[in-house]
């Protein structure tokens, strides 16, 4: 098969399955998915609802553990880690960007951005400096003392991106990041992702929008819990090019 040794790759998933038990019934959300992502890549994971992409995102984000298979993240086998160990991995390796932003409503933008550093045990003054620097990257330092309800949707998502960046994780994991934004604001956020990609960040973007996936250099399509296509974003997203088929290349 095409997957050369996983060594050196940031993400390597091998034959991942995830089975849920819902009301005595077995739901196989993922049925043996394998792929790798290298450092600095920008990859979209696409699929329709029920395709398993949300489950894949939870597994990649270490919010959930696979039923079987192996998940190597930055050289560490995270598929068999304890809850506490996973919390540390989430803190150090992953920057989450959610569709609904998931900012704490009672805290200021700055405090929200500081949060990952709190759980890393970084002293307050240092935390503040780093959070300001992260907000500067998304051009929001002028709004840092505002609460989320005083910010626009685009600004909230930029705060969330600053929060994802602040702890310098190995990858940014975005779940429908433009889903709650109008198209102009969505475009702004996609531009920001392009800049982050050019700056060398590893980006994994989970979406059901082909247009968004088409802008990514690479896309992986999931269907019915299986990987059905892996190739350049445009080809996979728009369903063209034989090279996109599984096992190809």
- Cβ distance to another protein smaller for residue 121 or 200: 121
Among 96, 109, 231, 237, binds another protein (CB under 8 A): 96
Q: What are the E-state strand segments in 23-163? A: 25-37, 42-46, 68-73, 76-77, 94-97
Stretch that binds another protein, among 41-49, 55-63, 188-196, 223-231 (CB under 8 A): 55-63
175-214: buried (b, 16+ CB within 10 Å) or exposed (e) per residue? bbbbeebeeebbebbbebbeebbeeebbbbbbbbbbebbb
- Cβ distance to another protein smaller for residue 10 or 115: 115
The residue length of the chain stands at 249
Q: What are the E-state strand segments in 56-116? A: 68-73, 76-77, 94-97
- 107: its two tokens: 């805290």
CB-based burial of residue 133 (10 Å sphere; 0-12 exposed, 13-18 middle, 19+ buried)?
middle
Stretch that binds another protein, among 32-40, 45-53, 111-119, 214-222 (CB under 8 A): 111-119
Site string for another protein, 138-177 (x = CB under 8 A): -------------------------x---x----------
27 in contact with another protein (CB under 8 A): no
Among 3, 8, 15, 63, binds another protein (CB under 8 A): 63
83 in contact with another protein (CB under 8 A): yes
90 in contact with another protein (CB under 8 A): yes
């Amino acid at each position: 098969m095409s997957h050369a040794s996983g060594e050196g790759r940031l993400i390597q998933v091998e034959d991942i399955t995830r089975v849920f038990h819902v009301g005595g019934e077995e739901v196989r959300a993922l049925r043996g998915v394998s792929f790798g992502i290298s450092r600095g890549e920008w990859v979209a994971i696409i699929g329709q609802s029920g395709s398993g992409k949300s489950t894949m995102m939870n597994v990649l984000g270490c919010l959930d553990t696979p039923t079987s298979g192996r998940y190597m993240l930055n050289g560490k086998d995270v598929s068999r880690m304890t809850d506490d160990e996973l919390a540390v991995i989430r803190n150090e390796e992953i920057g989450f960007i959610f569709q609904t932003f998931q900012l704490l409503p009672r805290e200021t933008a700055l405090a929200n951005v500081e949060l990952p550093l709190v759980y890393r045990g970084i002293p307050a003054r240092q935390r503040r400096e780093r959070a300001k620097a992260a907000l500067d990257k998304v051009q929001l330092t002028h709004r840092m003392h505002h609460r989320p309800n005083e910010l626009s949707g685009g600004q909230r998502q930029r705060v969330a991106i600053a929060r994802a960046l602040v702890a310098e994780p190995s990858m940014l994991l975005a779940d429908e990041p433009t889903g709650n934004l109008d198209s102009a604001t969505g475009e702004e956020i996609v531009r920001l992702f392009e800049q982050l990609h050019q700056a060398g960040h590893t980006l994994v973007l989970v979406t059901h929008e082909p247009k968004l996936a088409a802008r990514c250099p690479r896309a992986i399509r999931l269907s019915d819990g299986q990987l059905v296509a892996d190739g350049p974003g445009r080809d996979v997203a728009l369903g063209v090019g034989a090279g996109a088929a599984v096992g190809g290349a």
